[in-house]
Structure 1
């Protein structure tokens, strides 16, 4: 099996972070790649480059230190989180190749909803222009590479409470506007959107054999 696609529902962030580390540290050149699709309870995650001043007011939302790239972001119910646990050396991908792949998977998903989205070289992620604001962020990226393998991935705002983003400088940018699929396409089927993101990612990765499962990885049992 080239790839396992795991649909994991709602998972605690610290537990998921630890599970990613275990899989990455113990995998061998023969270990199949995995994509984990899930959402988290409300949590602010602070990336490796994160600065405390970008958390304006955490309130009752926990702040968790992460080893992904980037600054602070928010995860919560109604947001699709996809972790890509890939042997990028085996796939012959560089980090920038993987970032481009993720961004274009999301851009093409939004295009199928009639939404023009784009990436910005200086700030990884996916952005849209709305009648109200320019360059509103709809998806964030943060990766880590260890032993030639990737962990962490993307968060895509689907149908969620966006107000916690006002408690931080998203990705380290003061006043950065954020938006979500529900605002842009109120009639969109969010289950379809989730599956389309996965389809776009798998097609671009080039895996010829893959299996969808709801089973937890052993590291999350």
Structure 2
């Protein structure tokens, strides 16, 4: 499994590059060709993405307002509702053939969650899951539940794209313009907010890459 760091890339470009990899892997599986599993890490400029099951009403700004704040909105082909990507957020796009890892889609999503839970624990931040809500959360089961990582994937022929978005040093104000992942009653957080200091993106990427590699 190859790990790549694309740096800061506009969302549309990253989506196109992902899709090319995804389509090539599906075709390689169909024809018996060669392919390579990969973990792609990236940061995006300010952007909102709305998944297949998302509701437009969870985006609270109009097109002109989005443009004024330098953000864009994309309707995309992953599961889940609406989320935000921006500077200081570590996004991971695994392009994997799940059959190589003997995983079904549900197990795969739990693997992504577990990797993030372990990364949070390595910083002394206790994280977990909320029933009926994909992703990684803090203060689970309390009125102070808050999300630190969103997860949304696309899978076809057991090949995956899209993935997870972990708030590291993210400006959380941008979540105030949406109902994150469709929830109106839950908050969001970041490693920076929980620890009270800026966290090295490079360090978090390394830890997340190691945890995903170990779990897979």
TM-score by length of 1: 0.87
Q: Secondary structure at the match of 2:133?
A: coil
Would the aligned equivalents of 2:79 and 2:154 in 1 still touch at CA under 8 Å?
yes
Structure 1: which 5+ residue stretches go unaligned? 206-221
**What is the CA-CA distance between 1:133 and the residue it aligns to?**
5.8
Would the aligned equivalents of 2:49 and 2:75 in 1 still touch at CA under 8 Å?
yes
**What is the CA-CA distance between 1:176 and the residue it aligns to?**
2.3
**Residue of structure 2 aligned with 1:21, choices 19, 22, 42:** 19
| 1:10 equivalent in structure 2 | 8
| 1:32 equivalent in structure 2 | 36
Q: How does 1:13-162 map to 2 (within 5 A)?
A: 13-27=11-25, 28-29=28-29, 30-58=34-62, 59-60=65-66, 61-129=71-139, 134-162=144-172
Q: Secondary structure at the match of 2:111?
A: helix
**What is the CA-CA distance between 1:19 and the residue it aligns to?**
1.6
Would the aligned equivalents of 2:117 and 2:126 in 1 still touch at CA under 8 Å?
yes
Higher relative contact order (CA 8 A, sep 6+): 1
Deviates more, 1:162-171 or 1:21-30: 21-30
**What is the CA-CA distance between 1:14 and the residue it aligns to?**
1.2
What value does the CA root-mean-square deviation take over the aligned residues?
Answer: 1.6
Q: State the number of aligned residues.
A: 202
Deviates more, 1:141-150 or 1:77-86: 141-150
Runs of 4+ in 1 over 6 A off after TM superposition: none
Hey, what's the Cα distance between the residues in 1 that align with 2:102 and 2:14? 26
| 1:204 equivalent in structure 2 | 215
- The answer to whether structure 1 residue 176 and structure 2 residue 186 are counterparts is yes
**What is the CA-CA distance between 1:190 and the residue it aligns to?**
3.6
Hey, what's the Cα distance between the residues in 1 that align with 2:17 and 2:156? 14
Hey, what's the Cα distance between the residues in 1 that align with 2:38 and 2:202? 20
Hey, what's the Cα distance between the residues in 1 that align with 2:213 and 2:101? 12
Q: Secondary structure at the match of 2:115?
A: helix
Would the aligned equivalents of 2:88 and 2:201 in 1 still touch at CA under 8 Å?
no
Q: Secondary structure at the match of 2:203?
A: helix
**Residue of structure 1 aligned with 2:203, choices 177, 192, 212:** 192
Would the aligned equivalents of 2:152 and 2:164 in 1 still touch at CA under 8 Å?
yes
Structure 2: which 5+ residue stretches go unaligned? none
Hey, what's the Cα distance between the residues in 2 that align with 1:189 and 1:64? 28
Q: 1:77 to 1:133 in 2, by over 3 A?
A: farther
TM-score by length of 2: 0.89
